Homo-oligomer: A and B are copies of this chain.
Amino acid sequence: MDNSTIIAMVSIITAGVTTGIGCMIPALGQGKSISTALSSMAQQPDAGQTITRTLFVGLAMLESLAIYCFVISMILIFANPFWNHFIAK
């Protein structure tokens, strides 16, 4: 294995694992939030609008955490400074 192969190899693995793991718990958090929103709506239909608004802000914040991971993955695949260094060599 020469150097660029190793860099390519760990970039691929890390890109996959980071997104795979990083989407797990935000998904859990979203599932929990949506689930509570639904049961709260059924309980208090009048507060539906406030609940929906807060829910969407919350989902967006959770989505942002998953997107940090996705960004790291994308950087590792398409804008990897280490890879560029070895390729340039």
Decide: A6 and B1 in contact? CB cutoff 8 A: yes
Tell me, rounded to whole Å, the shortest Cβ–Cβ distance linking A8 to chain B.
Answer: 4
Which 3 pairs of residues, A with B, have the shortest CB-CB distance? Answer: A29-B31, A40-B42, A34-B58
Decide: A45 and B45 in contact? CB cutoff 8 A: no
User: How many residues of chain A are within 8 Å of chain B by beta carbon?
Assistant: 77
Decide: B7 and A10 in contact? CB cutoff 8 A: no
Chain B residue numbers with a CB within 8 Å of A20 are: 17-19, 21-22, 69, 72
Decide: A66 and B33 in contact? CB cutoff 8 A: no
A41→B35 CA distance, assembly (Å): 12
Decide: A7 and B1 in contact? CB cutoff 8 A: no
